[in-house]
Structure 1
Amino acid sequence: MEQLKVDWLTDGLIDFEYKKYVLLAYLKNVKAHFDDKKLYPFMSDMVFHYQNLMTIKSNKSLLYENFPKSISKADFSKLKLTYKKLVEDDDLMLEIESIVEFAMPKFQNALEVGKEIYEFVENNLEFLPVGVTPIYTNEGYLFLSQDVSSDVNIYQYQLTFFEQSNEKFRGINTHFLKREERTLSNTFEHIKLKLVKKFANLPNPATYAIVSKQFFPLPETLLPIAKRLLVRNISVS
């Protein structure tokens, strides 16, 4: 099972053994990806589900509000539908509580494994400003390279800003430009100079290289972690 539905807890048959089967199949797939050092999108997916379970456990009224409703009668002449809530069944609610209690430690354990992999990858990354860093760093270039290869993946990045619950957050968008070979003559600095000549809209771009000491899958692990590392370093600079 590649992904767990957003409403997996209340979707379809609400039975402890069935939901246990669904969850364990999902987590088995997560483990297979983690064994290959492929973190995303499963890490963010599991954080989402775990937070949902925590919310439901601490505030069961939210479960009532978000529970799917079944159509009990349809008035086709007025195009109105009336719904009857399924949550009036106490036995059903007890079943859901049992599922939540089973699922939470499973997610927690899987997230701990993912966190260990994340930290291992991050500890193997070297962050290098390329050339002189300008004052304006909200957009520029990211060079991503691994020691086991001479390939340099070149991205244009742009920081994004958003506010949630009165807190300000930074995000990042990246656009893949091209791949070049890093050599004694074609250094990071030389690659940057070529980009400046080609893209006049960024005459003095902030440019950073992130080099991995080990090989990690690019789209599922290295790029997502490198992007977070870039945002964090720019934020404190």
Structure 2
Amino acid sequence: MMLILCIFTICIKEVTMRTLNANWFIEVPIDFEHKQYQLLAYLQQINAHFNKTRLYPNLNDLIFHYNNLKKFKQDKTTLEAGFPVRLSSIDMAAVKITYEKIVNDDTMMQEIGQIISYAASKIKPAIKEGQEIHDFVESHLVISEVGMRPLYPNNGYLLLRNGDEKGIRVYEYQVTLFESQHEKYRGIHTTYLTKYERHFIYNTPEAIRKDLIHTRRELPNPAVYQVESDITFPVENTLLPLAKKTLVKTISALN
């Protein structure tokens, strides 16, 4: 069983792009050439984002679709359950007829199998490229604690320094622990507060921490962490999500 160490919420403003529905490969028309065109158009957009080091939500989206294809291929009961869900807006009698027609149509099922195999072979290398970008960015991040650590570091401020940019972005963060029967998950939520321009008064993380304590009395002794990169990356799509992931790992190691 895959052990998930943490989860983190990524809220990203994206330009409009062509996306794939969860059941795109079994939606009509079930035609290999049509699905091939649909997939390649989607991957072309993903590649354009990766070329600009825009990692999220694209990488998560790719992983979701790849795992979905594998699950449908390996688990026939999941595949069967997918048809009535997909057609839930139609009269149930019509749903049953349509579902049985598709499942019992050997030619159609072979077409779906071909679509799944082709799509998986194209999505897998795209995921690898995304993971390489992820690892590259992560290798350029350094996290440091600013000031004294409070007893409970799950609430505080994240300072984000992005390469050659002059300012330091400040986010308030909250880390939450979720527990299931077998695993524990940590989620993180951040709220953008302000940006400190580099100035002789606020030229150090310690000075920014002091000002935050003075101006935001609700956290009199906050945990403050700075994540900095020596290369400038897209903030919303790449730097912030990985900074949040790095922060969750750091706080998890304290407990």
TM-score, length basis structure 2: 0.85
Within a 5 Å distance, the mapping from 1:63-102 to structure 2 comes to 63-68=79-84, 81-83=93-95, 84=97, 85=99, 86-102=102-118
Q: Distance in 2 between matches of 1:158 and 1:182?
A: 26
Within a 5 Å distance, the mapping from 1:39-50 to structure 2 comes to 39-50=55-66
Structure 2 residue corresponding to 1:220, chosen from 228, 237, 244: 237
Q: Distance in 1 between matches of 2:205 and 2:37?
A: 50
Match of 1:103 in 2: 119
Q: Distance in 2 between matches of 1:161 and 1:82?
A: 44
Instruction: Please list the CA deviations of residues 157-190 of structure 1 after superposition, one character each: whole Å capped at 9, or x if unmatched.
Output: 0012223563111010000001111334312111
Match of 2:175 in 1: 159
User: Is the contact made by 1:142 and 1:155 (CA closer than 8 Å) also made in structure 2?
Assistant: yes
Instruction: Please list the CA deviations of residues 49-103 of structure 1 after superposition, one character each: whole Å capped at 9, or x if unmatched.
Output: 11111111211221111114669x96xxxxx755321322111111111111111
Q: Which runs of 5+ in 2 are unaligned?
A: 1-16
Instruction: Please list the CA deviations of residues 13-46 of structure 1 after superposition, one character each: whole Å capped at 9, or x if unmatched.
Output: 1111111110111001000000000011111111
Displacement of 1:12: 2.4
Structure 2 residue corresponding to 1:59, chosen from 66, 75, 93: 75
TM-score, length basis structure 1: 0.92
Q: Distance in 2 between matches of 1:70 and 1:153?
A: 46
Match of 2:210 in 1: 193
Match of 1:35 in 2: 51
Structure 1 residue corresponding to 2:246, chosen from 224, 229, 236: 229
Q: Distance in 1 between matches of 2:28 and 2:178?
A: 36
Match of 1:203 in 2: 220
| Correspondence 1:178 to 2:183 | no
| Correspondence 1:125 to 2:141 | yes
Secondary structure at the aligned position of 2:195 is classed as strand
Q: Distance in 1 between matches of 2:31 and 2:177?
A: 42
Aligned residues: CA RMSD: 1.8
Total equivalences in the alignment:
231
Code of the aligned partner of 1:17? E
Q: Of Structure 1 and Structure 2, which has the larger fraction of its residues in strand?
A: 1
Match of 2:9 in 1: none
Q: Of Structure 1 and Structure 2, which has the larger fraction of its residues in helix?
A: 2
Code of the aligned partner of 1:159? V
Displacement of 1:156: 0.2
**Segment of structure 1 superposing worse, 164-173 or 108-117:** 164-173
Q: Which runs of 5+ in 1 are unaligned?
A: 75-79
Q: Distance in 2 between matches of 1:82 and 1:116?
A: 46
Match of 1:116 in 2: 132
Q: Which has the higher contact order (CA 8 A, sep 6+)?
A: 2
User: Is the contact made by 1:147 and 1:213 (CA closer than 8 Å) also made in structure 2?
Assistant: yes
